[in-house]
Structure 1
Amino acid sequence: MTTRTLVILPTYNELENLEGVVRRLQQSAPDVDILIVDDNSPDGTGWLADRLSDELRNVHVSHRVVRAGLGGAYLEGFAWALRQGYDLIVESDADGSHRPEDLPRLLVAIENSDLVVGSRWVEGGKVENWPISRRLLSRAGSAYARVMLDIPLRDVTGGYRAYRASALLALKLESVNSQGYCFQIELLWRAVCAGLRVREVPITFSDRILGASKMRGRIVIEAMWRVTMWGLAARLAPLGRRTVASHA
């Protein structure tokens, strides 16, 4: 039986990047489908997504009426993928920072895993075009979440991930309400708590060349506040967690 794979690309003002990413995904993994979830981008990204969907048989589009955040876009994409019967669901940025050429590595790794995280911070992983300040912030954020939530992985905030459909069902997505930076931490923590088989594989993260970053200070603040609250709550009422395998 053929394994059906869907890559979810949340977009907001990615007119300059979207088509290049879609075509690189097709070249790197010709058999995967793509769902673009657009947050009513004012720059015409939604129009471009529709054009690509008309032109390419494996591209689908979901238009959201208002901009409602990265977490909400992924949750909508997950729900769509599960309704359509996909076996594997991949999270990826639409700005080119998650290289489509690394996708086959994630898909090979998930053959023996429930969740695969593309990691910048394991051996073989790297970051390109980031200033030292941003590298330090990302490493510090991962380290803090790793310690507070007892997550035995190096890249806790990375957003290039492949899930089995069964793994998403185990995460009780209906109760997830965090966004952005924090959304990725919460889903990984839930996977650890559920005893899922989680694996890290090295990727190259390339900072966007075109367009503006969506990262804002309030997103980082929200993440650190939520991680602190979760960590304190877990220490007061420990959740039965099993060890997660981490492999470079």
Structure 2
Amino acid sequence: MSSIKNAVIIIPTFNEIENIDRVLRAVFLLQPDFHVLVVDDDSPDGTAALVEGMMAGFPETLHILKRKKKLGLGSAYIAGFKWALGRTYEYIFEMDADFSHNPEDLTRLYNACHKDGNDLAIGSRYVTGVNVVNWPMSRVLLSWGASKYVQFITRMNIHDTTAGFICYRRKVLETINLDKIQFLGYAFQIEMKFKAHLSKFKIVEVPVIFTDRTKGESKMSSGIISEAIFGVLKMKIKSLFNRYEI
């Protein structure tokens, strides 16, 4: 089996023992196969131990970064980004562990950057309508409305501003000062896109179907939503006065 040695998928985990084995095996069935870094925030359910047990079967492509406590989604991705930038990967992905992101779409995101020349490829739920499965209408409206709100405030030409299924070209993450990222929850995804947008990187949305998790518990909360709403205004105002550091 050939390997995309220049691409790594970062998968943050906290209590994902019901999903992580299946999602990793689904990724490693892809042709050619990607490398994967699992960033685990000390899951009490044994997620990290399960991943470590799988590493012997995928000795060159599966990696784990274990952290001592739960520090937030954005913090996990930043740790993963720094790990990847310390190696030779050219393409660095974000993906959930719960199958809400279809592993088969990874190749499409990769090709959008590697073949089509984009710097940032977003697996978008809203670029061709609303492509969400198993969400109640209230949550669909909240998510879609949040993306439209962010689009309006920031003036980014991105339909799914809160998406977390992404391929970054290495230079994007090298340009953004990861130590200056302000938000660690829901707004993290918005902030990363906004900084890429301000840096004039070429961004494309690739339509995907988002399927809500069937196993494990959602990490969404009202506090995360409010962080996004007020954080976006703060980011935009600072950028208007050249006080927003990329």
Normalising TM by the smaller chain, what interval? over 0.9
1:159, distance to aligned residue in structure 2 (A): 0.3
Structure 2 vs 1, CA of residues 197 and 188 (structure 1 numbering), >3 Å: closer, same or farther?
A: same
Between the aligned partners of 2:78 and 2:95, the Cα distance in structure 1 is 13
Between the aligned partners of 1:73 and 1:147, the Cα distance in structure 2 is 28
Given candidates 67, 82, 85, the residue that maps to 2:85 is: 82
Query: How many residues are paired up?
Result: 239
Partner SS, residue 32 of structure 1: strand
Partner of 1:98: 101
Structure 2, unpaired ranges of 5+: none
**Alignment deviations for residues 176-210 of structure 1 (CA, whole Å, 9 cap, x no partner):** 13112100000000000000010000011110000
1:63, distance to aligned residue in structure 2 (A): 0.3
Partner of 1:71: 74
Partner of 2:223: 218
1:8–1:77 contact (8 Å) kept in structure 2: yes
TM-score w.r.t. structure 1 length?
0.92
Q: What is the Cα-based RMSD across aligned positions, in Å? A: 1.7
Structure 2 vs 1, CA of residues 133 and 76 (structure 1 numbering), >3 Å: closer, same or farther?
A: same
Identity %: 39
Between the aligned partners of 1:52 and 1:182, the Cα distance in structure 2 is 32
Between the aligned partners of 2:221 and 2:202, the Cα distance in structure 1 is 32
Partner of 1:178: 183
1:125–1:203 contact (8 Å) kept in structure 2: no
Between the aligned partners of 2:98 and 2:152, the Cα distance in structure 1 is 30
Structure 1 residues 1-248: aligned runs within 5 Å: 4-57=6-59, 58-111=61-114, 112-123=117-128, 126-237=131-242
Partner SS, residue 56 of structure 2: helix
1:10, distance to aligned residue in structure 2 (A): 0.1
Partner SS, residue 55 of structure 1: coil
TM-score w.r.t. structure 2 length?
0.93
1:125–1:202 contact (8 Å) kept in structure 2: no
Residue identity matched to 1:176: I
Between the aligned partners of 2:212 and 2:31, the Cα distance in structure 1 is 22
Between the aligned partners of 1:143 and 1:188, the Cα distance in structure 2 is 14
1:232, distance to aligned residue in structure 2 (A): 2.5
1:106, distance to aligned residue in structure 2 (A): 0.4
Between the aligned partners of 1:196 and 1:231, the Cα distance in structure 2 is 18
1:237, distance to aligned residue in structure 2 (A): 4.3
Greater share of helix residues, 1 or 2? 1
Between the aligned partners of 1:28 and 1:217, the Cα distance in structure 2 is 36
Between the aligned partners of 1:205 and 1:238, the Cα distance in structure 2 is 35
1:3–1:88 contact (8 Å) kept in structure 2: no
